[in-house]
Amino acid sequence: MSVLITGGAGFLGSALANRLVAQGSHVRVLDDLSAGERERLDPRVAFCSGDTRDIPKLWSLLRGVDCVYHLAARVSVPESVLYPVEYNDVNVGGTVSLLTAMRDAQVKRLVFASSGAIYGEQERQPIAEDAPLRPLTPYAVSKVASEQYVRAIGNLWGIETVILRIFNAYGPGQPLPPSHASVIPRFLKQATSGGSLVVFGDGTQTRDFVYIDDVVDALVAAGQAEGISRSIINIGSGREVSIGELVETIERVLGESVHRLCASGEKAGVTRLVADVDLARRTLGYTPRVSLEEGLQRTIARDGRFSPR
């Protein structure tokens, strides 16, 4: 199988590229390196630096490709509030450009990385795929709009499409920008460098943390399974964990207690978010295998930024 991964030098994309190349696929990566790092990639992966909105570049990269994994995006929810125009340009514009080029190159299948963030605040948990969409931020809106383009254009031009709504992925190599970092790498950095863990709100808000290897299993299956075109599938652990429980799990894994600082609840986000992963089980044979404790242990062991003092 020959695949192109946009955003393939990023956290999830590089893990997917390395897995697929190890399984014998021909893998090309397109990434503008705005957040990605080429060094993460197995040398057998063919890397091309560039933007997903560059249609002529896509034409040449798509030659002979069976499946595209579209992961390139701006990915920070708080940053999207500051830069909505850029999030729309890159995330929505990039998706439409890619679909156009795929039509021209007659590529069979697209797997699109959407997000659990598009559900927003929901009364019913765990959240199934038919829940009403309530995007609360420009990032989430950009994923909703991209999903709609993927479905509509896929239908019009006969491209097989699979949309994965990924919840809170974590693992070694997750970006840790100075501001707006995701909660797990931020907590691990604060805990292992002897600092305080800053908890927004009272810590009762819940999330669905899914380990990177489980997400990669789902992505691989979404590129290969038969009879799933037009599917929209949640990918999470199916386990609801409060931020307070996350802190306790980190303490257990590190074998020491950590100091917490409570900050204002404005940045706490939605109250609850946990995925119903039943459809993923049935359509992709997906089973989340890595518990939060095990995933945190692996992340600390494999990511040098979290070496305990």
Residues that bind ligand NAD in the complex, under the rule CB under 6 A: 6-7, 9-13, 30-36, 51-52, 71-75, 90, 94, 113, 115, 166, 168-169, 175
Distance CA(257)–CA(152), nearest Å, equals 51
Q: How far is the CB of 271 from ligand NAD (least distance, A)?
A: 19
- Which one, 86 or 260, has the nearer CB to ligand NAD? 86
Q: Which residue is nearest to ligand NAD (CB)?
A: 10
- Which one, 25 or 115, has the nearer CB to ligand NAD? 115
- DSSP class of 267: G
- Which one, 151 or 260, has the nearer CB to ligand NAD? 151
- Which one, 83 or 260, has the nearer CB to ligand NAD? 83
- Which one, 121 or 202, has the nearer CB to ligand NAD? 121
- DSSP class of 88: I
Distance CA(112)–CA(44), nearest Å, equals 23
Cα–Cα distance list, 9 to 32, 66, 76, 225, 229 (Å): 9, 20, 17, 24, 26
The structure tokens listed for 155 are: 């239908």
Distance CA(152)–CA(51), nearest Å, equals 23
- Which one, 159 or 210, has the nearer CB to ligand NAD? 210
Q: How far is the CB of 14 from ligand NAD (least distance, A)?
A: 8
Q: How far is the CB of 97 from ligand NAD (least distance, A)?
A: 9
Return the percent helix, strand and coil in the chain, to nearest 5: 45, 20, 35
CB burial of 154-184 (b: ≥16 within 10 Å; e: otherwise) equals: beeeebbbbbbbbbbbbbbbbeeeeebbbbb
The structure tokens listed for 194 are: 């002897």
Q: Are 220 and 235 in contact (CB under 8 A)?
A: no
Sheet architecture: strand order including 26-31: 46-49, 26-31, 2-6, 67-70, 109-115, 160-166, 231-235
Distance CA(122)–CA(125), nearest Å, equals 7
Nearest to 206 by CA among 234, 244, 177, 150: 244
Q: Could you give the residue numbers annotated as active site?
A: 139
Query: What burial class does residue 86 get, using C-beta atoms within 10 Å of its C-beta: 0-12 exposed, 13-18 middle, 19+ buried?
Result: middle
Q: How far is the CB of 139 from ligand NAD (least distance, A)?
A: 7
Q: How far is the CB of 37 from ligand NAD (least distance, A)?
A: 8
Q: How far is the CB of 265 from ligand NAD (least distance, A)?
A: 22
